[in-house]
Amino acid sequence: MRAGLCVGRVGGLAVALGVGAGIGAAVLFSGSATASADAPDAPSAGPASDTGAAGPARAQRAGSVTADRARARSTAVARAASHAAPARQGVPTQQRTSIPRAAVVAGQGVTDGITVAPTVAFVDGVVEGTLNATSARYGDTSCSSTQKSSCLKYEYTSTDRDVRENDIGKLTFAEADTSAGPQDFSILPYLTWDLDTGVDKGSQTFQVRVTEVTAFDEFLTGLPLVGLLAEPVISLLQQTPVLGSLLAPFIGASVLAEVPVNLDALAPGTTPVAFTYKVTSFDGVRISTNFFPASEIQAGETAPLVLNGPGLPLPGATDPYPKPLTPGSASYYPPLYVLRTADYNVITWDPRGEHASGGIFELDNPFYEGRDASAILSWSAQNPLVLLDKPDDPRVGMMGGSYGGGIQWVTASTDPRIEAIVPSISWNSLLAALYPTDIVKSAWLTTIGIGLVATGARINTQIYVAGLTGLLFGEIGPTSQAVLGSSGSTSLLNQLSVPTLIFQSSVDGLFPLEQAVTNAETITANPFNTEVKMSWFCGLHGICRTPINPAQAARIYSDTVAWLDTYVARTGDPAADIPRFQWYDQNGEYYSADLLPFQDGFNQPVPYSANGAGGMLPIIPVIGGSGPLQGPDTLPAPMRTFPYNGTFPTPATNALNVAVTPPVGSQIVGAPQLSFTYRGIGNGKAVSAQLIDNTTGLVVGNMVSAVPVTLDGQTNAVSIPMQDIAYTVGPGDSLTLQIVGYSSMFASSAIGVIDISDIRLDLPLRDLNAAS
């Protein structure tokens, strides 16, 4: 699928699946495609091959001592906090002299009023450039989320399949929230040269298509159903000789521009340069892998390595541009440039079965994706820029979110070379996350499935079966359960021994806080005395509807780099300053404690209890239920659009309500316990429970819990923990417990009626006298 076809269609899924740092992430798909490059075949031996000795010992990078490491860390985070970073900012101007910076006129194209004169430059280890495209009608106005027509759009001529089947490089346009402009791009040439000598760098050529988007185009592509067919037809007509020129006044003109990259001139000899390469895994599957050198690193120096896996369903990160860190940002891990500025080499990759990598998608299975990561690690040990502890043993940590968090658990639990991990918004058990108490989380299954199909992922068929049977019949069969159960950390954490810093979102309905708590609790119980700390923040996979602390993202960035500095670079102990447990409440207020929330002493021995008489509750689809989110219109469009809007619970009218008034000043940091007695008939398997903040009218933490019930006409009882929350009771604050008959999160066609009585809700109250 061409990148241009993804924009606007599945862009909203980027927000939903943990692949961006805010609503602007809806355009990430447009910046993650790859461009064709005419590159010779990769060498069969030498540093670029997948096997062989690690080579002679290398000198660690000069100046890599504790003071310099601390300076690099503070510089990286400070740069992130800058709101006025110049375009294509690499290293400070006065420091660029150590790295050759060459610029040439790359290629030109002129047709039907469009002129393209791209230039390329070498900036701090990365080939960067700009299209310099203009249109006689629209000037250099670029299409965006707000400019839908009378503008220029840019796409790459190679599909993921082209890149997967050929040894060619990648070209990425800057993301919308970076310091670069919409016509700026970065290039990862395909590795064809000897890394130790720099021989055979040569030249590679990339192709970019520049196209006018007219008001007529916007009208056609915006039509329901017709729009799905209109866009590829318009593109075909624009590219048809003669006919395209005749129709250009109506459908817009299009031109193909070449961008030649002379690596010998831009980065001569052994000058470190970012590149892409296909690493052969254990079963012969080739994994598309990207290498970014540490900022300002020189030939002959080394730096530690960070592996950064992507969130589902995106490819490995390829955008090196700085992103101004806006106060209140929901970013959940540092981008590439922060890690590079902090003096780390960085490797990203497309997981198997996705984008430019081969193989079949297995959901971070330790026997597949876990071994892919180990193969990448062995390959990286041959790179002369990577610091080694010994042959085939790079000094390496891992970082990333969502799917990129899940891969850390399985790799670090099975490969002893990993020094430390920083997983964010990840999971413990996919079964518990997607099929809690045997109730299908249908809204998220739909959202994930559409994302994978839209990006052309090649998936283990049992994963599709799990999704289809779950959505159609409300059940996931034993075979599919086994596939889901084999993916991710689960029992592997019993052998995890590397320092672990966990980030999890308090508004994440896909992988709620309970998943992080289970991971932390399992690690602390294993026999290795593993160092583990945990942080709850407000961000993806959900979206904050309450204030975000202005310092949240900067703290996440700083803590991540401090963790890596301590346990990977081994320069001092900045991780000691990170609290054992830290969190933000519903008001964005920051708190910390010396105990994890499940440890004795964190909560008061006696919880706060609220009781309700109950009543009769109809179980009917949709009407009066919780979700989907419909408005207000001020909310980002993906939150109000199927299927992502189904993941957001809302106050229900078809509900049993119980007043909950914990003492002012108390803090609920954990899972409420709900119990009640019931009797009912029907074909439903569950009701749902949620807490409403009466001050804001919002569901606390966007959390709704499935409560399994048996509607056999007999009297039954149930007691179940609801989802964890982080809530501080202020003056005038109160809550309402709602037990609802329908939730879009667990959507089904079930019908019935249930008579509920003896409702009791126990809220864990934090012991405010505990050390903090």
Per-residue three-class SS string for 353-370: CCCCCCCCECCCCCCCHH
Confidence of residue 454 (pLDDT cuts 50, 70, 90): confident
pLDDT score recorded for residue 734: 97
Average of per-residue pLDDT across 370-379: 98
Q: Give the whole-angstrom CA distance, residue 278 versus residue 356.
A: 9
Confidence of residue 488 (pLDDT cuts 50, 70, 90): confident
Q: Please check whether residue 59 lies inside any domain of the structure.
A: no
pLDDT score recorded for residue 635: 78
pLDDT score recorded for residue 419: 98
Higher-scoring residue by pLDDT: 539, 289? 289
Choose the weakest-confidence range: 333-342, 343-352, 462-471, 519-528: 462-471
Q: Please check whether residue 121 lies inside any domain of the structure.
A: yes
- State pLDDT tens for residues 595-653: 999 999 999 999 999 999 999 999 999 999 998 988 787 777 778 888 889 999 999 99
Q: Are 105 and 119 contacting, i.e. CB atoms less than 8 angstroms apart?
A: yes
Last residue of a domain, one of 232, 250, 270: 270
CATH at 618: 2.60.120.260
Q: Give the whole-angstrom CA distance, residue 440 versus residue 703.
A: 15
For the cut 60, the answer to whether the pLDDT of residue 544 exceeds it is yes
Looking at the 3D structure of the chain, how many domains does it have? 3
Burial class (CB in 10 A: 0-12, 13-18, 19+), 146: exposed
pLDDT score recorded for residue 83: 37
Confidence of residue 473 (pLDDT cuts 50, 70, 90): confident
Choose the weakest-confidence range: 63-77, 372-386, 427-441, 577-591: 63-77
Q: Give the whole-angstrom CA distance, residue 158 versus residue 167.
A: 12
Q: What is the DSSP letter of 698?
A: E
Average pLDDT of the chain is 85
For the cut 90, the answer to whether the pLDDT of residue 693 exceeds it is yes
For the cut 50, the answer to whether the pLDDT of residue 57 exceeds it is no
pLDDT score recorded for residue 276: 97
108 and 257, same structural domain? Answer: yes
Q: Give the whole-angstrom CA distance, residue 644 versus residue 542.
A: 10
Q: What are the structure tokens assigned to 599, written together?
A: 């440890």
For the cut 60, the answer to whether the pLDDT of residue 386 exceeds it is yes
Q: Please check whether residue 584 lies inside any domain of the structure.
A: no
Higher-scoring residue by pLDDT: 544, 63? 544
Last residue of a domain, one of 233, 252, 270: 270
What separation in angstroms does the CA of 640 have from each of 19, 498, 623, 644?
Answer: 18, 41, 18, 7
For the cut 90, the answer to whether the pLDDT of residue 567 exceeds it is yes
Confidence of residue 163 (pLDDT cuts 50, 70, 90): confident
Confidence of residue 772 (pLDDT cuts 50, 70, 90): low
For the cut 90, the answer to whether the pLDDT of residue 272 exceeds it is yes
**Percent residues over pLDDT 90 in the chain:** 65
Higher-scoring residue by pLDDT: 455, 570? 570
Q: Please check whether residue 469 lies inside any domain of the structure.
A: yes
Q: Give the whole-angstrom CA distance, residue 717 versus residue 678.
A: 6
For the cut 70, the answer to whether the pLDDT of residue 77 exceeds it is no
Q: Please check whether residue 547 lies inside any domain of the structure.
A: no
> What count of other Cβ atoms lies within 10 Å of the Cβ of residue 640?
18
Cα of 20 vs its chain's centroid, Å? 6
For the cut 50, the answer to whether the pLDDT of residue 209 exceeds it is yes
Average of per-residue pLDDT across 119-126: 96
For the cut 80, the answer to whether the pLDDT of residue 691 exceeds it is yes
Last residue of a domain, one of 243, 270, 297: 270
Q: Are 701 and 584 contacting, i.e. CB atoms less than 8 angstroms apart?
A: no
Burial class (CB in 10 A: 0-12, 13-18, 19+), 653: exposed
Higher-scoring residue by pLDDT: 590, 23? 590
Q: Give the whole-angstrom CA distance, residue 652 versus residue 252.
A: 48
Confidence of residue 375 (pLDDT cuts 50, 70, 90): very high
Average of per-residue pLDDT across 25-52: 35
Q: Please check whether residue 517 lies inside any domain of the structure.
A: no
For the cut 50, the answer to whether the pLDDT of residue 22 exceeds it is no
For the cut 50, the answer to whether the pLDDT of residue 705 exceeds it is yes
pLDDT score recorded for residue 96: 32
- State pLDDT tens for residues 627-638: 898 878 777 777
**Percent residues over pLDDT 70 in the chain:** 84
Average of per-residue pLDDT across 241-267: 93
Tokens 């997607």 belong to which residue? 434
Confidence of residue 62 (pLDDT cuts 50, 70, 90): very low
Average of per-residue pLDDT across 728-734: 96
Q: Please check whether residue 771 lies inside any domain of the structure.
A: no
The reported pTM is 0.86
Q: Give the whole-angstrom CA distance, residue 321 versus residue 343.
A: 16
pLDDT score recorded for residue 205: 94
Average of per-residue pLDDT across 702-707: 96
For the cut 60, the answer to whether the pLDDT of residue 9 exceeds it is no
Average of per-residue pLDDT across 573-583: 97
Confidence of residue 436 (pLDDT cuts 50, 70, 90): very high
Q: Give the whole-angstrom CA distance, residue 250 versus residue 254.
A: 12
Range of the domain at 105: 3-42+96-270
Q: Helix or strand or coil: residue 303?
A: strand
Q: Please check whether residue 561 lies inside any domain of the structure.
A: no
Q: Find the angle CA(522)-CA(417)-CA(501) to the nearest 5 degrees.
A: 40
Confidence of residue 111 (pLDDT cuts 50, 70, 90): low
Q: Give the whole-angstrom CA distance, residue 668 versus residue 433.
A: 22
pLDDT score recorded for residue 208: 94
What separation in angstroms does the CA of 313 have from each of 4, 157, 354, 366, 424?
Answer: 16, 21, 8, 19, 16
Those residues with Cβ within 8 angstroms of residue 559's Cβ, 6 or more apart along the chain or in another chain: 501, 535, 575, 578
- Residue 83: is the preceding peptide bond cis (ω within 30°)? no
Average of per-residue pLDDT across 342-363: 95
Computed from CA positions of residues 173, 177, 182, 184, in that sequence, does the dihedral angle turn out positive or negative?
negative
